[in-house]
């Protein structure tokens, strides 16, 4: 698995499948232990991420770190990635970019086989719901929901969460996010000890 991951990383670093590479200092595959049971999926690297070459290191990253703590998790124990691997200057990805770059995320999930995939925000939630045959409605309806996906080829939980950055634009969201993450922490205690 490590070798296939290394290969995937090299492929992503050389990717020219859309124009986003032109503004990107780094193509960021992800960060964290490859054997983590938990994968977090955001939208795409912003300004600070593009400078540092790491996901979620800017203002949204600081909020995410706090939310992880509320859920009883340490950042170093989860694997963090994004749907889009290149710098997204205005935080908006075209459908075609999501479709194209999403293929890398599919391969990451196949390789790392996380038990729980936490989608951060609507783009990641929509993408992961569609991939897993779940019906996406809206973040207002889905946030905090933990859905179990069971099939011959896949046994995992998909979690829909508001993007941490939503609390940057709308401070009243902070409370909602904090509540969701506390609840998620409690659910994770059960999920991660369950054998399946």
Residues at the interface with ligand URA (CB under 6 A): 42-46, 49, 55-56, 58, 60-61, 82, 165
DSSP 137-153: --HHHHTT-EEEEE-SS
Comparing CB distances to ligand URA, the nearer of 41 and 191 is 41
DSSP 102-113: HHHHHHHHHHH-
In whole angstroms, the minimum distance from the beta carbon of 80 to ligand URA comes to 7
Which residue is associated with the tokens 């710098």? Answer: 87
> Are the CB atoms for 192 and 37 separated by under 8 Å?
yes
* DSSP H helices in the chain: 2-13, 47-52, 59-70, 95-112, 122-131, 139-142, 166-169, 173-191
In whole angstroms, the minimum distance from the beta carbon of 129 to ligand URA comes to 17
Comparing CB distances to ligand URA, the nearer of 156 and 163 is 163
In whole angstroms, the minimum distance from the beta carbon of 109 to ligand URA comes to 17
Among all residues, whose Cβ is closest to ligand URA? 42
Return the closest-CA partner of residue 17 out of 132, 93, 97. Answer: 97
Which residues make beta-bridge pairs with 156? 149
Comparing CB distances to ligand URA, the nearer of 64 and 73 is 64
In whole angstroms, the minimum distance from the beta carbon of 183 to ligand URA comes to 22
């Amino acid at each position: 698995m490590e070798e296939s991951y290394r290969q995937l990383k090299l492929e992503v670093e050389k990717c020219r499948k859309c124009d986003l590479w032109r503004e990107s200092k780094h193509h960021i595959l992800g960060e964290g232990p490859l054997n983590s049971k938990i994968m977090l999926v955001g939208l795409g690297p912003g300004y600070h991420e593009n400078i540092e070459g790491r996901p979620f290191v800017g203002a949204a990253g600081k909020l995410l770190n706090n939310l992880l703590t509320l859920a009883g998790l340490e950042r170093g124990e989860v694997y963090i990635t994004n749907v889009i691997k290149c710098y997204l200057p205005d935080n908006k990805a075209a459908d075609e970019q999501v479709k194209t770059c999403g293929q890398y995320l599919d391969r990451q999930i196949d390789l790392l086989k996380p038990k729980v995939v936490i989608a951060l925000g609507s783009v990641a939630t929509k993408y992961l719901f569609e991939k897993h045959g779940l019906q996406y409605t809206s973040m207002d309806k889905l946030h905090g929901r933990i859905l179990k996906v069971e099939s011959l080829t896949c046994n995992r939980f998909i979690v829909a969460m508001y993007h941490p950055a939503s609390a940057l634009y709308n401070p009243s969201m902070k409370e909602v996010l904090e509540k969701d993450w506390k609840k998620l922490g409690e659910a994770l205690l059960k999920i991660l000890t369950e054998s399946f």
